[in-house]
């Protein structure tokens, strides 16, 4: 339907009182540190979110949209080199940066200044592009939960449709899935309807839903916990054409009742990868073999995760060994590796956990080759990684890099939302780029960090004080002690359970209301604390926003270690300060230059 322009409804915006300071406690093995420049100023609280992000709590949707808009304009103008993404949440803005050379204190000051300048302006015209136009989306209100929503709201199903259709909604933020806009502005009886007690394992694309104070439209098939009240045939996300997501933050939306049957949405299925030589032909794909590079930038505001290799260090090492740039695409292998036939001469190398002595078996034409060593592959030869044994993940690099069609600026596969080629299949022809000169050998320096330790910084909720009096009830104390990796861990997140596995352990009482917070932008390494007593450490495919409390954040220098945590393995989270985190990152950056030595002979044999 054509869009119509509507005027903004007048009215003051609500203010949030400054958050009271919390008491810091020492407990377990943690050494507690203070946050830098984290106090509220004029109702705005800006603080570091780990060592590669800043979180601004500005109090309401209007203020968050204004701040995110200004920050993104500055990012696109190149005013702040190293700023990678700006993500609006519900009254919050998260800014992620490259930890190399990042000055978080300076960024906190800049964000605080911009937020203060915006104070008082959010009641005026919304500067978000297109926010003044109301996008009208035709919806057939025949969802399976419509009657249940009507019952909970104390009205008829017809009245529910009338209220939803008559409401002017607005996109507060985008997340959960690419193009999934969280729509605010529901009438109070509908805004009071909670999420479903039991989420559905599969919700069809185009489903219109209500839950937890929001309305939303599922852009793709995905699990979901909201009540389904209708359907639409509108395509809300298209990774092939800008602006990619139809529902940008600040966009005004009206869900217009329609009796017409919605058009079916296109299925998102890829065909076989095809490429002439040089290429690698997939004879057997292995358990899960993914093309990954350094990941995506500046797309989190659309709800698109960064993705990229789970082990950034191994990607850099393997690429350097075969003569590639650090960020070229590699093959990330989990569990059991593939069988690949070379279509052209090339060089290859496979690296497991670079800090471990556990070797990754590699076979070329039935003959075993030494681990972590560059090997020549001639046209027609077959390379096989096989079972990885005690190694969780391995990285396979070839000279020239894996050359598959990029999506949103990256060749990476994202298991959460299905972007990129996804797991390799039999018959795929994975392209190989232009080769450089391979290097000689890998000699890793000594690693002084114990394998069962992840170093963390205090999280944004570490000083939140909801009323508990014991260190274990406090989000900071909640990460103390020993953990064990749960079997249902993956690239989206590493789930940790208490190492003692005690059934008598009480769920953390300090996290009321289901352990949730208003949804906000998330970062890789965030240690989320659901109410059941477990922890979830977010991986490269994590959702861009989340609502669980965050008690700690894994430092950037240890993120690559998440890739090698095996189910059942013990883990201890050890708190460090930002100076130590920065020093650890600088040491990690030096590893590839020190570990990769010499040059490979130009002629094999």
For 521-538, what is each residue's pLDDT tens digit?
Answer: 999 999 999 877 889 999
**518: pLDDT strictly greater than 90:** no
Residue 368: enclosing H or E segment and its boundaries? strand 367-369
Pairing of strands 252-257, 214-217: unpaired
SS3 (DSSP) at 582: helix
Is the pLDDT at 6 greater than 90? The verdict is no
Q: Which of 345-349, 417-421, 442-446, 530-534 has the lowest mean pLDDT?
A: 530-534
Q: Is residue 599 part of a domain?
A: no
Specify the pLDDT at position 122: 47
Residue 267 pLDDT: 79
> What pTM, to 2 d.p., does this model score?
0.86
Number of neighbours of residue 581 by Cβ within 10 angstroms: 23
- Counts of helices then strands in the chain (DSSP H, E): 8, 37
Lowest mean pLDDT among 116-130, 150-164, 361-375, 568-582: 116-130
Q: Are both 143 and 251 inside the same structural domain?
A: yes
Decide: 314 and 560 in contact? Cβ < 8 Å. Answer: yes
430 and 299 in a common domain: yes
> Would the CA dihedral through 348, 351, 354, 357 be positive or negative?
negative
Length of the chain: 605
Q: Are residues 286 and 422 in the same domain?
A: yes
Q: What is the pLDDT of residue 531?
A: 79
Nearest to 80 by CA among 49, 48, 109: 109
Share of the chain above pLDDT 70, in %: 85
What is the C-alpha separation between 245 and 268, in angstroms, rounded? 16
**Distance from CA of residue 107 to its chain's centroid?**
22
Chain-centroid distance of CA 297 in Å reads: 11
Q: Does residue 355 sit in helix, strand or coil?
A: coil
C-alpha distances (whole Å) from 588 to each of 322, 366, 525, 560 are 20, 36, 17, 10
**Do 219 and 321 share a domain, yes or no?**
no
Q: In the prediction, which pLDDT does 46 show?
A: 94
Tens of pLDDT, residue by residue over 332-390, are 999 999 999 999 999 999 999 999 988 888 899 999 988 889 999 999 999 999 888 88
Compute the distance between CA of residue 596 and CA of residue 320 in angstroms, rounded to an integer.
7
- Give the least confident one: 240-249, 394-403, 442-451, 485-494: 442-451
The DSSP code for 245 is: B
Domain boundary among 442, 465, 488: 442
Per-residue pLDDT at 8: 33
For tokens 């609280």, the residue is 45
CB 213 within 8 A of CB 184: yes
Residues 428 and 294 both lie in one domain: yes
5 pLDDT tier (thresholds 50, 70, 90) = very low
Crossing angle of the two packed helices 104-118 and 61-76, in degrees rounded to 10 = 130
pLDDT 10s digits, 286-320: 999 999 999 999 999 999 999 999 999 999 999 99
The reply to whether 326 falls in a domain is yes
Same domain? For 146 and 235 the reply is yes
Query: What does the pLDDT read at residue 515?
Result: 53
Of 257, 292, 326, the residue at which a domain comes to its end is 257
Burial class (CB in 10 A: 0-12, 13-18, 19+), 60: middle
Mean residue pLDDT of the chain comes to 85
Give the model's confidence band at 407: pLDDT under 50 very low, under 70 low, under 90 confident, else very high: very high
CB 254 within 8 A of CB 136: yes
Residues 557 and 426 in one domain: no
Pick from 513, 506, 495: which is nearest to 473 by CA?
A: 506
* 512's tokens: 């009321």
- In whole angstroms, give the CA distance from residue 175 to residue 307: 15
Minimum mean pLDDT range among 40-44, 150-154, 225-229, 439-443: 40-44
Q: How would residue 477 be classed by pLDDT, with cut points 50, 70 and 90?
A: low
Q: Poorest-confidence range of 27-31, 68-72, 397-401?
A: 27-31
Report how many domains make up the chain.
4
Average pLDDT over residues 23-29: 29
Radius of gyration of the chain (CA): 25
Q: What is the pLDDT of residue 103?
A: 86
**CATH number of the domain where residue 553 is located:** 2.40.100.10
Distance CA 168, CA 253 (A): 6
- Residue 197 in this model has a pLDDT that exceeds 70: yes
- Confidence class of residue 208 from pLDDT cuts 50, 70 and 90? very high
The range of the structural domain enclosing residue 100 comes to 27-118
In a domain, 350, yes or no: yes
Element (H, E) at 59: none
My answer on whether 150 and 84 are in the same domain is: no
d(CA 424, CA 290): 6
β-strand pairing of 453-458 with 570-575: parallel
CA neighbor of 562 nearest in space, from 489, 459, 500, 498: 489
User: What's residue 440's pLDDT?
Assistant: 84
Q: Among 155-169, 264-278, 508-522, where is mean pLDDT lowest?
A: 508-522
Highest mean pLDDT among 266-275, 372-381, 498-507, 526-535: 372-381
Is the pLDDT at 228 greater than 90, yes or no? Answer: yes
**Which of 22-26, 305-309, 577-581 is the least confident region?**
22-26
Under 8 Å between Cβ of 303 and 248: no
d(CA 367, CA 378): 14
Calpha distance 436→215 (Å, rounded): 51
pLDDT (0 to 100) of residue 603: 42
Is the domain of 99 the same as that of 138? no
Of 11-15, 224-228, 418-422, 552-556, minimum mean pLDDT range: 11-15
Residues 470 and 578 in one domain: yes
User: Please, which pLDDT band fits residue 178 given cuts at 50, 70 and 90?
Assistant: very high
387 compared with 585, residue with greater pLDDT: 585
3-state secondary structure of 147: helix
Are 422 and 310 within one domain? yes
d(CA 63, CA 131): 14
Bridge partners (DSSP) listed for residue 549: 529
Spatial CA neighbour of 203 closest among 220, 215, 216: 220
């Amino acid at each position: 339907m054509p869009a119509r322009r509507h005027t903004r409804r007048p009215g003051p915006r609500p203010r949030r009182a400054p958050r009271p300071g919390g008491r810091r406690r020492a407990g377990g093995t943690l050494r507690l540190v203070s946050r830098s420049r984290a106090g509220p100023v004029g109702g705005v609280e800006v603080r570091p979110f780990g060592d590669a992000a800043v979180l601004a709590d500005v109090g309401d949707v209007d203020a968050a949209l204004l701040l995110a808009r200004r920050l993104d304009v500055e990012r696109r103008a190149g005013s702040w080199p190293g700023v990678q993404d700006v993500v609006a949440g519900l009254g919050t803005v998260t800014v992620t940066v490259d930890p190399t050379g990042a000055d978080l204190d300076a960024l906190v000051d800049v964000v605080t200044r911009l937020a203060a300048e915006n104070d008082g302006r959010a009641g005026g015209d919304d500067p978000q592009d297109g926010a003044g136009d109301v996008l009208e989306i035709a919806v057939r209100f025949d969802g399976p939960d419509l009657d249940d929503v009507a019952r909970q709201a104390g009205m008829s199903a017809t009245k529910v449709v009338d209220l939803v259709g008559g409401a002017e909604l607005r996109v507060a933020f985008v997340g959960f899935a690419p193009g999934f806009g969280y729509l605010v502005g529901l009438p109070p009886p509908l805004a009071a309807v909670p999420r479903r007690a039991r989420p559905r394992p599969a919700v069809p694309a185009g489903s219109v839903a209500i839950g937890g104070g929001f309305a939303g439209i599922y852009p793709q098939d995905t699990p979901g916990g909201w009540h389904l009240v209708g359907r639409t045939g509108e395509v809300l996300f298209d990774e092939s054409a800008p602006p990619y997501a139809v529902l940008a933050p600040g966009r005004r939306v009206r869900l217009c009742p329609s009796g017409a049957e919605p058009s079916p949405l296109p299925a998102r299925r890829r065909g076989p990868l095809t490429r002439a030589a040089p290429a690698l032909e997939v004879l057997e794909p292995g358990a899960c073999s993914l093309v990954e590079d350094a990941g995506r930038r500046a797309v989190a505001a659309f709800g698109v995760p960064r993705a990229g290799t789970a082990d950034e260090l191994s990607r850099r090492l393997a690429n350097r060994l075969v003569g590639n740039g650090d960020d070229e695409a590699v093959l990330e292998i989990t569990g059991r590796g593939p069988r690949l036939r070379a279509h052209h001469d090339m060089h290859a190398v496979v690296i497991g956990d670079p800090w471990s002595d556990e070797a990754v078996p590699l076979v070329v034409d039935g003959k075993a080759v030494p681990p972590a060593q560059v090997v020549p592959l001639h046209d027609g030869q077959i390379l096989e990684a096989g079972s990885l044994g005690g190694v969780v993940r391995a990285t396979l690099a070839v000279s020239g890099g894996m050359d598959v069609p990029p999506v949103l600026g990256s060749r990476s596969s994202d298991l959460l939302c299905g972007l990129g080629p996804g797991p390799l299949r039999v018959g795929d022809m994975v392209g190989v780029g232009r080769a450089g000169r391979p290097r000689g050998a890998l000699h890793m320096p000594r690693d002084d960090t114990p394998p069962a330790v992840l170093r963390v910084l205090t999280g944004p909720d570490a000083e939140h004080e909801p009323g508990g009096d014991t260190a274990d009830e406090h989000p900071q104390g909640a990460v103390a002690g020993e953990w064990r990796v749960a079997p249902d861990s993956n690239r989206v997140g590493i789930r940790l359970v208490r190492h003692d596995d005690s059934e008598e352990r009480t769920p953390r009482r300090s996290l009321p209301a289901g352990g949730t917070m208003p949804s906000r932008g998330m970062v890789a390494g965030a240690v989320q604390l659901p109410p059941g007593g477990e922890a979830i450490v977010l991986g490269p495919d994590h959702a861009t926003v989340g609502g669980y409390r965050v008690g700690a954040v894994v430092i950037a220098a240890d993120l690559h270690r998440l890739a090698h945590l095996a189910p059942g393995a013990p883990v201890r989270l050890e708190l460090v300060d930002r100076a130590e985190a920065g020093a650890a990152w600088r040491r990690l950056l030096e590893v590839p230059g020190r570990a990769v030595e010499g040059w490979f002979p130009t002629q094999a044999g």
